[in-house]
C-alpha cells in the first residue's frame, strides 16, 4: 500500500511528467552527487548551474547565476488563495482556489519534461521541537534542491515522521521555462500547500522559507494562537555573562542578518545568533514569549558584506564546515576565480564578469554584483551560533524591536508605553523599499511588523491577533522601535550602524532591567543621551541630537499616511489601535 505522501508525489509526477523522480535523503554524499549534476548542467548567462570558485580562499563555495529576469521576489505575482477574498485582506493578491489551481494545472502540464523531479523531505524547526513542522517540496532544479539542503533540516527521517499522515506541508515548484509572464507563487492555506512556477529565486522557490514559514505559518498561528514573524532572534551577552534574548523585525534588506551576526563594538558584549530572518513565537507555560528559528541556514544580502561591516559573516562564508556555500548573482573575478561585490574587502578586480556574465569594469557605470545578490550557507558555519540554537524549546524573549529604513523622521531608538502601544508602533511602521523585491527602490511604503509581503491573511485580523497574544502573556517582552538609517542634510548616514548598534541594544537591555529611565515623548520613551554608551565613538553632540530630533510637522504628515493605511482595513482594524493612533494625533496638535 502506498502512503499519502507517495500518492501525492505520483500525482505531481503525472502532471509535470519528469524524466525521473529522485527522492533526496539529505546526506552529504547525495549533495556531492547533485553538485556534480549542476556542474554539468546547461549554462545560464554563461555559467553552469554551479560554478566551482577558488577552493583555497572560498572552501566548498560555488557561484550560481540566475535567469536575468529572476533576481528578486515578485510580490505582484504572489497570491494567497483563501476560500474567501476577505480572508486575504487588502494586503494580499487573491484568486479563488479553484481558479488558481486550474491556471497552474495548465501551466504545469509537462513542465518537467526531460528533467529530474527532486523530492525534498525536510523539517522546519528542530525535529524534537513541539513547534516543528514536517514538509515535502518537489522541485525540478538542482540549485533549489541544494539551497533547501542548506536552509532546512533535510533528511529521509522526515518521510518516516510523516508516515501515513495526510497533513504534511506540501510545496510544488518548477521553473518551467522561466517565462516571467507565466510566473506565479500561489498559496493554499487550507491545504498547507504552496504551488510556485516560473521562478528559481529564493523567496519564490525555497518554499519552506517565506511561503510556508511566514505566509502559511502566520495563518496557522492565527488558528492555533502563535505568531510567525519576519524577525531576527539573538542573544546579547553582557560583561557579567547574562544573556538577554531579543527578536527584531526589519523589512527585507534592512539589516536583520547584520544585526543577528553583529561583532560588538563595546568590549565585553557579545551577540549570539539564533536566526536572521524568521521567528516562530509561542507563549510558554511560564507566561513568557518563546522563539524558535524554523530555518537552519542564511539566505543573505551579499553587497556591503565585509570584514569591516560583518566580520562574523565573512568568517562563516570562508569556513566551509557544511557542504556547500552558494553565491548567487555576484560578480566573478576571472583572474582569481573569486566572487566579488560592491563593498567587498577585495579591491576592484582587473578582469571581471558582472552578475549577468558580461565583461565589467568600473567605467561601465553599472553594478558588478546584482544589488540583491545573495549567499546561501548553513548556520553551523557561524562562530556566533548560539549554544541554544538546537534547543527544541527555543529561547525566552525579553524585548521585541521594530525597525525600518527611514532616512528621515524616525529616531535611533524609542520605547513603547505598553504592549498595545508597541503593537501600534509595529502596525504604523514604514520603510523605504529595497532590491529584495522587484520594484522601484527607495520609495517609502507602510510595512507593518516588516510583514506586508509575508502575512498570509488580512492584516487587520493580524493586528488583532498581536493584541490577543499580549493578553495571553503574564510577562510580555518590552517593545522598541529602531532606525539605523537616518541621514543628515548632506545625505550621509548619521549613525555608524553595524557593530555600533550594540550601543542601542545595551540601552534596550538597561530598560528591560529598569536600570535607566527614558524621556517621555508623544512617540514613546527616548533615551537620555548620557544613558547611551558612546565610549570610543566620536560623534559631535549636535549630530547625536539630530538622531533623536522629533519633527512635529514631519510626524503630522506621517500620521496622515498612517490614518489612510489603517482605514484600508475597514472593520477588521482593531479599535484599540485607533485609540493609540488618536492619542498620538492629539499630542501632536
Residues that bind ligand GTP (CB under 6 A): 250, 252-258, 276-277, 300-301, 303-304, 309, 436, 484-485, 493, 497-498, 501
Q: Which does 501 bind (CB under 5 to 8 A by kind): ligand GTP, Mn ion, ligand SPV, none?
A: ligand GTP
CB atoms within 10 A of CB 517: 12
Is 152 among the residues that bind ligand SPV (CB under 6 A)? no
User: SS3 of 105, please?
Assistant: helix
Q: Which of 249, 316, 412, 436 binds ligand SPV (CB under 6 A)?
A: 436
Q: Distance of CA 349 to CAs 161, 354, 418, Å?
A: 49, 11, 52
Point out the catalytic residue in the list 24, 111, 211, 254. Answer: 254
Q: Mask 257-286, x = binds Mn ion (CB under 5 A)? A: --------------------x---------
User: SS3 of 573, please?
Assistant: coil
User: SS3 of 352, please?
Assistant: strand
CB atoms within 10 A of CB 502: 21
Q: Which does 202 bind (CB under 5 to 8 A by kind): Mn ion, ligand GTP, ligand SPV, none?
A: ligand SPV
Note whether 242 and 419 are within 8 A (CB): no
Give the interface size with ligand SPV as a residue count (CB under 6 A).
9
Q: Which does 250 bind (CB under 5 to 8 A by kind): Mn ion, ligand GTP, ligand SPV, none?
A: ligand GTP
Considering the complex, what minimum distance in angstroms separates the CB of residue 376 from ligand SPV?
10
Give, as ranges, the residues between 530 and 589 that touch ligand SPV (CB under 6 A): none
For Mn ion, the closer CB: 133 or 210: 210
For ligand GTP, the closer CB: 433 or 458: 433
424-437 residues labelled b (16+ CB within 10 A) or e (exposed): bbbbbbbbbbbbbb
Report the greatest alpha carbon distance in the chain. 75
Note whether 578 and 585 are within 8 A (CB): no
Q: Which of 252, 376, 420, 433 binds ligand SPV (CB under 6 A)?
A: 252
Instruction: Indicate if 135 belongs to the active site.
Output: no
Q: Which does 73 bind (CB under 5 to 8 A by kind): ligand GTP, Mn ion, ligand SPV, none?
A: ligand SPV
Give the interface size with Mn ion as a residue count (CB under 5 A).
2
Q: Please, which contacts does 39-47 make with residues 24 or more away whose CB atoms are closer than 8 Å?
A: 41/142, 45/355, 45/356, 45/357, 46/353, 46/357, 47/357
Give the relative orientation of helices 28-39 and 142-151 as an angle to the nearest 10 degrees: 150
Is 73 among the residues that bind ligand SPV (CB under 6 A)? yes
What helix, strand, coil percent values describe the chain, rounded to 5? 35, 25, 45
Note whether 532 and 503 are within 8 A (CB): yes
Q: Mask 176-215, x = binds ligand SPV (CB under 6 A)? A: --------------------------xx-----xx-----
Q: Give the three cell numbers for residue 131.
A: 513547534
Give, as ranges, the residues between 12 and 41 that touch ligand SPV (CB under 6 A): none
* Residue, CB closest to ligand GTP: 497
Beta bridge partner(s), residue 194: 171, 187
For ligand GTP, the closer CB: 93 or 309: 309
- What phi and psi, each to the nearest 5 degrees, are found at residue 446? -70, 135
Interface residues toward Mn ion, by CB under 5 A: 252, 277
Contact residues toward ligand SPV (CB under 6 A) are 73, 202-203, 209-210, 252, 277, 299, 436
Q: Which residues are catalytic?
A: 254
Amino acid at each position: 500500500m502506498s502512503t499519502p505522501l507517495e500518492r501525492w508525489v505520483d500525482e505531481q509526477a503525472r502532471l509535470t511528467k519528469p524524466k525521473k523522480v529522485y527522492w533526496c535523503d539529505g546526506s552529504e554524499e547525495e549533495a556531492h552527487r547533485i553538485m556534480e549534476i549542476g556542474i554539468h548542467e546547461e549554462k545560464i548567462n554563461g555559467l553552469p548551474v554551479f560554478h566551482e570558485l577558488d577552493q583555497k580562499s572560498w572552501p566548498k563555495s560555488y557561484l550560481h547565476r540566475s535567469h536575468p529576469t529572476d533576481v528578486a521576489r515578485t510580490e505582484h505575482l504572489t497570491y494567497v488563495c483563501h476560500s474567501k477574498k476577505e480572508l486575504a485582506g487588502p494586503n494580499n493578491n487573491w484568486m479563488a482556489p479553484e481558479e488558481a489551481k486550474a491556471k497552474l494545472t495548465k501551466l504545469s502540464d509537462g513542465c518537467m519534461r526531460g528533467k529530474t523531479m527532486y523530492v525534498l523531505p525536510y523539517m522546519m524547526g528542530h525535529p524534537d521541537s513541539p513547534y516543528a513542522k514536517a514538509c515535502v517540496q518537489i522541485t525540478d532544479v538542482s540549485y533549489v534542491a541544494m539551497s533547501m539542503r542548506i536552509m532546512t533540516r533535510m533528511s529521509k527521517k522526515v518521510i518516516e515522521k510523516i508516515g501515513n499522515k495526510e497533513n504534511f506541508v506540501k510545496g510544488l515548484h518548477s521553473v518551467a521555462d522561466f517565462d516571467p509572464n507565466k510566473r506565479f507563487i500561489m498559496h493554499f492555506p487550507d491545504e498547507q500547500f504552496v504551488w510556485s512556477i516560473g521562478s528559481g529565486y529564493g523567496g519564490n522557490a525555497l518554499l519552506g522559507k517565506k511561503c510556508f514559514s511566514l505566509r502559511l505559518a502566520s495563518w496557522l498561528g492565527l488558528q492555533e494562537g502563535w505568531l510567525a514573524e519576519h524577525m531576527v532572534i539573538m542573544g546579547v551577552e553582557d560583561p557579567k555573562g547574562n544573556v538577554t534574548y531579543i527578536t527584531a523585525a526589519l523589512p527585507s534588506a534592512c539589516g536583520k542578518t547584520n544585526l543577528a551576526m553583529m561583532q560588538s563594538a563595546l568590549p565585553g558584549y557579545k551577540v549570539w545568533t539564533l536566526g536572521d530572518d524568521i521567528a516562530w513565537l509561542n507563549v510558554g507555560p511560564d507566561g513568557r514569549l518563546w522563539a524558535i528559528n524554523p530555518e537552519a541556514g542564511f539566505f543573505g544580502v551579499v553587497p556591503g558584506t565585509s570584514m569591516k561591516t560583518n566580520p562574523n559573516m565573512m568568517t562563516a562564508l570562508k569556513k566551509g564546515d557544511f557542504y556547500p556555500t552558494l553565491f548567487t548573482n555576484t560578480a566573478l573575478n576571472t583572474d582569481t576565480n573569486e566572487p566579488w561585490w560592491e563593498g567587498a574587502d577585495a579591491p576592484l578586480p582587473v578582469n571581471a564578469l558582472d552578475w549577468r556574465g558580461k565583461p565589467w569594469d568600473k567605467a561601465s557605470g553599472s553594478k558588478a554584483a546584482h544589488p540583491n545578490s545573495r549567499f546561501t550557507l548553513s548556520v553551523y558555519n557561524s562562530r556566533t551560533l548560539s549554544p541554544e540554537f538546537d534547543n527544541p524549546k527555543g529561547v525566552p524573549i525579553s524585548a521585541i524591536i521594530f525597525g525600518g529604513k527611514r532616512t528621515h523622521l524616525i529616531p535611533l531608538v524609542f520605547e513603547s508605553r505598553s504592549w498595545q502601544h508597541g503593537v501600534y508602533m509595529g502596525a504604523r511602521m514604514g520603510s523605504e523599499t529595497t532590491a529584495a523585491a522587484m520594484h522601484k527602490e527607495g520609495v517609502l511604503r507602510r510595512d507593518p511588523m516588516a510583514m506586508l509581503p509575508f502575512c498570509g491573511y488580512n492584516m487587520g485580523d493580524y493586528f488583532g491577533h498581536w493584541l490577543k497574544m499580549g493578553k495571553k502573556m503574564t510577562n510580555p517582552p518590552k517593545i522598541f522601535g529602531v532606525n539605523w538609517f537616518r541621514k543628515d542634510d548632506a545625505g550621509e548616514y548619521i549613525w555608524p550602524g553595524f557593530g555600533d548598534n550594540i550601543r542601542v541594544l545595551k540601552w534596550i537591555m538597561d530598560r528591560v532591567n529598569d536600570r535607566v529611565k527614558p524621556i517621555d515623548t508623544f512617540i514613546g520613551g527616548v533615551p537620555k543621551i548620557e544613558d547611551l554608551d558612546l565610549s570610543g565613538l566620536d560623534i559631535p553632540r549636535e549630530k547625536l541630537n539630530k538622531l533623536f530630533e522629533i519633527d512635529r510637522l514631519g510626524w503630522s504628515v506621517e500620521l496622515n499616511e498612517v490614518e489612510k493605511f489603517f482605514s484600508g482595513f475597514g472593520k477588521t482594524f482593531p479599535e484599540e489601535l485607533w485609540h493609540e493612533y488618536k492619542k498620538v494625533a492629539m499630542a501632536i496638535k
